Amino acid sequence: MGQLVPMWESGIQQMADKVAGDGGFIPTCQQAFEDITDATEAYKGELDDMADAAGIDLNDVQTGVDDLAIAFEGLVEKNDDLIERMETELSAVSNLRS
């Protein structure tokens, strides 16, 4: 293969070997997913420890964020109504000026 594609023995082959890993592509992917799962579980454990140390229930934080998002939606609707009223008033003032 090196004779057909001169760069085969360079970076391209090294990248292919790295992706294929020991045992081929599937075991490499499986190991990568296991590593991701382990890292996620470790992160969750660290978050739980931090929340315990702070005396905070992270579910309460999520609920608060959800409530805040709903409140902002209501605020946007109220602002839309206010803008519509202001346009109506501006139109009325323009008619009076005319």
Query: What pLDDT was estimated at residue 35?
Result: 94
Query: What pLDDT was estimated at residue 67?
Result: 80
Greater model confidence, 12 or 72: 72
Q: Report the C-alpha gap between 95 and 89 in whole angstroms.
A: 10
Q: Report the C-alpha gap between 42 and 24 in whole angstroms.
A: 27
pLDDT at residue 37 greater than cutoff 90: yes
Place of tokens 């057909």: 4
Greater model confidence, 21 or 55: 55
Give the mean model confidence (pLDDT) for residues 81-97.
89
Instruction: Summarize pLDDT for 57-87 with one digit per residue, the tens.
Output: 887 877 777 787 888 888 889 999 999 999 9
13-51: b or e for each residue (b if 16 or more CB lie within 10 Å)?
eeeeeeeeeeeeeeeeeeeeeeeeeeeeeeeeeeeeeee
Query: What pLDDT was estimated at residue 21?
Result: 65
What is the pTM assigned to this prediction? Answer: 0.42
Q: Report the C-alpha gap between 96 and 36 in whole angstroms.
A: 68
Amino acid 60 reads D
